[in-house]
Amino acid sequence: MSKRTHVPSEEARLMTKRTCMSSKEQHFMGKRTQTPSEEECLTTGRICTHGEEEHFVNKQVHIPSKEAYFVSERICTPSKEIHSASKRQKCESDLMARLSGIVEESIVDGPGLRFVVFFQGCPHRCRGCHNPETHDFCKGYKKPVSKIMKDLFKNPLLSGLTLSGGEPFAQAESAYMLAKYAHDMSLDTITYTGFLFEELLEKFSQIPFCAKLLRETDTLIDGPFILEKRTLSLRFRGSKNQRIIDPKLSLERGVVVEKDF
């Protein structure tokens, strides 16, 4: 009986040995299981609990964060530009011009085929004026500058934009926005004014957008209409005292620079 009892003891030892080996295998398997988690840790660069490796991983993570910062800075600039553009667009759409009328195709208000905007209201009220109905600032009608721009954009055959009136410098902001838009479309701009060029220079501080409108004007026809100096021989002018001026060169040189069409 003792032998029978002993046999199971040996089997029990063998079982114990197997169990011990299994536990070693489990320990070894545990180590194998641990290795992929470390590799996964290093691969993902997210979690690492090993001193130097943690520092190295953090360093790796830190570099993209700097790049992300500079990327966000690069993204920030266009967003500011977009904000500024949308603000400017909103300003244009809200801006109203008081008009006497619009001639979408004219050949008598400058060279080529021209889009002519007649502003309502004129402080000069010249005797014998060709457009006396444009004098009263309370008459005419209002139209958004953005809608005038759309009308200007429709015709691909246009040579340029002519700002007349009335007095364009009495609504210098609206006139400036239209002139700027015309240049964006590669159209030239002619501006008629009853003021002398020298008077406009004096009014820079008094008339908002006066300087901007001058700089966006390619040709300025200045001076009031004087009935006694009326002539039909001059192109695009009503009286001999009126001048055809290059405003950009005049501003640059500090003296009136006349030109011809």
pLDDT number for residue 147 = 97
pLDDT number for residue 172 = 97
d(CA 78, CA 75): 6
Amino acid at 177: M
Q: Which fold has domain 95-253?
A: TIM Barrel (3.20.20)
pLDDT number for residue 261 = 85
Read off the tokens for 175. Answer: 């006139």
- Sign (positive/negative) of CA torsion 140, 142, 145, 147? negative
d(CA 56, CA 45): 9
Contacts of 218 (CB under 8 A, 6+ apart): 160, 188, 189, 190, 246, 247, 248
Contacts 24+ apart (CB under 8 A), 246-251: 246/218, 246/219, 246/220, 247/197, 247/214, 247/215, 247/217, 247/218, 247/219, 247/220, 248/215, 248/217, 248/218, 250/197, 251/214, 251/215
Amino acid at 252: E
The pTM (predicted TM-score) of the whole model is 0.66
Contacts of 222 (CB under 8 A, 6+ apart): 193, 195, 196, 197, 200, 242, 243, 245
Q: Tokens 């000069």 appear where?
A: 124
pLDDT tens for the chain, residues 1 to 261: 444 444 455 554 545 444 444 444 444 444 444 444 544 444 444 434 444 444 433 444 343 443 333 333 333 333 444 334 444 444 555 899 999 999 999 999 999 999 999 999 999 999 999 899 999 999 999 999 999 999 999 999 999 999 999 999 999 999 999 999 999 999 999 999 999 999 999 989 888 999 999 999 999 999 999 999 999 999 999 999 999 999 999 999 999 999 998
Of the candidates 144, 208, 207, 136, the residue with the CA atom closest to the CA atom of residue 181: 144
Question: What is the helix (H) or strand (E) element at residue 41, kind and residue range?
Answer: helix 2-44
